[in-house]
Amino acid sequence: QLQLVESGGGLVEPGGSLRLSCAASGFTLADYTIAWFRRAPGKEREGVSCISRTGRVTAYADSVKGRFTSSRDNAKNTVYLQMNSLKPEDTGVYYCAAVRGYYLCAGDTFNGYEYNYWGQGTQVTVSS
């Protein structure tokens, strides 16, 4: 079965860090451009980051730029989102999404792609 599974979410205090993982099974993640999205309570889903197939190109939402870093280990069929200096407004459910092929990771363009696979999401809560 084809799956994309997030992990690593949890409760953290403001200023803390979390590292999210997105692991694929049933397909080869190296063939896909990967994006991270999040949904805060009562708000629409928003794009967080994008990473190219090779990991050489990344893009970030202005709200997380300088604090979040996306990376990938294709040998492990896994992508990561390192989140530092977390703020309460970062709270939400985080999803990874995969689209097959070479897609542009720049600006907010990745918000409009039709993704082949979505994970179930992992909860991130930033609170004192």
* DSSP H/E element including 19: strand 18-25
> What does the pLDDT average to over 20-38?
95
In this prediction, residue 101 carries a pLDDT of 87
Residues 12, 16: Cα–Cα separation, whole Å: 6
| Cβ within 8 Å of residue 41, ≥6 positions away | 91, 92
* DSSP H/E element including 38: strand 32-39
pLDDT digits (tens, 9 = 90+) for 81-109: 999 999 999 999 999 999 998 898 988 88
In this prediction, residue 55 carries a pLDDT of 95
SS3 23: strand
